[in-house]
Amino acid sequence: MAEDTDELAAVARMLSPYCRVSRMSDGALIADWKRTRFLMMARADVRKFVEGSPEERSELVTVLVRAGCATGRRKKDVDTGTVGLWLRGVHLLIGTLGFGRVLRLLSLAVPGYERADLPSVQELRRLKRGVEAESRRSWFVNGDCKSEAVTAFLLLRRRGLKAVLHVGVREHPFAMHAWTDSAGVCIPDADPRGHAFTSVLAIDCGEQ
């Protein structure tokens, strides 16, 4: 069982962020959620990712790259350029339409389905670091929690991953806060500076 897990983990490290690998009786199934298609890998090919020679692994990676399931060079962290564009675009949209209207439009921007698998905690933490770093680096966004929460929600839900956007309040002193929760990771923090907020609105846009 541990060996199977190692093999699947080795395959997963090669895949693009929108692809997931699942163990099957005769190999592995790669789900490409960006294009809604699936690719089967034989058991022998899956094992090569752990036990094969560098040449064999390189050949398999080439096949995955050609199939569009992997990139030629694995990124070590979140694509901050893409995150920054989404963040600034969301902030501009909120400033133009208002936060309430943007929340009502979210269902039009994300798929109605939710994948059964959850994003890894490491992936979520990388996204959290990327969103928060870009938010604080940009004088335009300037750490706005609404923009951070909506950006994280859109990036996760557009991959079909489960995420819930919360809008919360606290009474004394009165304040509002927004965050997106996915697999227990909140972007931004649900309790900034130790102040607890009670969620009064939760949006997931998932299929009921």
Q: From the DSSP assignment, how many helices (H) and strands (E) are in the chain?
A: 7, 7
Q: What are phi and psi of 189, to 5 degrees?
A: -60, 145
Shared-domain flag, residues 133 and 166: yes
CA dist 204 and 208 (Å) reads: 10
What pLDDT is attached to residue 22?
Answer: 87
What pLDDT is attached to residue 1?
Answer: 47
Amino acid in position 33: W
Report whether 14 contacts 64 (CB < 8 A). Answer: yes
Which structural domain, as residue segments, surrounds residue 93? 80-203
The candidate with the shortest Cα–Cα distance to 147, out of 192, 111, 93, is 93
Shared-domain flag, residues 93 and 48: no
- Which residue ranges of the chain lie beneath pLDDT 70? 1-5, 71-81, 206-208
Report whether 178 contacts 166 (CB < 8 A). Answer: yes
pTM, 2 dp: 0.69
What pLDDT is attached to residue 77?
Answer: 45
Report whether 103 contacts 203 (CB < 8 A). Answer: yes
What pLDDT is attached to residue 86?
Answer: 92
Shared-domain flag, residues 159 and 181: yes
The candidate with the shortest Cα–Cα distance to 78, out of 21, 125, 137, is 125
Report whether 3 contacts 53 (CB < 8 A). Answer: no
What pLDDT is attached to residue 199?
Answer: 95
How many domains would you assign to the chain? 2
Shared-domain flag, residues 130 and 187: yes
Shared-domain flag, residues 58 and 90: no
What pLDDT is attached to residue 208?
Answer: 44
What pLDDT is attached to residue 72?
Answer: 60
Shared-domain flag, residues 57 and 128: no
What pLDDT is attached to residue 15?
Answer: 81
The answer to whether residue 208 is domain-embedded is no
Shared-domain flag, residues 116 and 199: yes
Shared-domain flag, residues 54 and 90: no
The answer to whether residue 29 is domain-embedded is yes
Kindly provide the b/e burial profile for residues 161-181, where b requires at least 16 CB atoms within 10 angstroms of the residue's own CB.
Answer: bbbbbbbbeeeeeeeebbbbb
What pLDDT is attached to residue 172?
Answer: 83
Provide CB contacts within 8 A for 48, sequence distance 6+.
Answer: 56, 57, 60
Shared-domain flag, residues 54 and 91: no
Helices 80-97 and 99-109, packing angle to 10 deg:
130
Domain's final residue, options 15, 40, 66: 66
Neighbour count for residue 119 (Cβ, 10 Å): 20
Q: Which tens digits make up the pLDDT trace of 23-77?
A: 888 888 898 877 778 888 888 888 887 788 878 878 888 888 888 887 665 444 4
